């Protein structure tokens, strides 16, 4: 491993100044990516269904059939039916 590191340093030193800057930026970007990946792995996943905010909607009568309401609204929007109704006199 030590010989490999020495070879990497020799290769780095042999680069032109622009190449060395590019390699330095690449290493810095890899450090940032590595840190953000480690912090993302340390975040524990939350059970959203158990969250109090989500739970406030459980058992509410006005929420029954909300899935059907969303589907109908989307179908109307995608078919343009809401535009035709608005343009139809009456």
Tell how far CA 58 is from the center of its chain: 27
pLDDT in single tens digits along all 90 residues of the chain? 888 999 999 999 999 999 999 999 999 999 888 887 777 666 667 777 777 777 777 777 877 888 888 898 899 889 875 555 555 555
Q: Alpha-carbon torsion 63, 67, 68, 72, what sign? A: positive
Q: What is the DSSP letter of 1?
A: -
Closest CA to 9 of 28, 24, 31: 24
Whole-model pTM: value is 0.40
pLDDT at 81: 58
């Amino acid at each position: 491993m030590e010989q490999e590191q020495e070879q990497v340093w020799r290769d780095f030193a042999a680069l032109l100044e622009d190449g060395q800057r590019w390699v330095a930026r690449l290493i810095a970007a890899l450090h940032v990516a590595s840190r953000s990946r480690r912090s993302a792995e340390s975040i524990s996943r939350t059970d959203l269904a158990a969250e109090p905010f989500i739970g406030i909607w459980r058992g509410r009568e006005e929420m029954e059939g909300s899935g059907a309401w969303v589907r109908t609204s989307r179908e109307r929007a995608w078919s343009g039916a809401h535009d035709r109704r608005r343009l139809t006199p009456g």
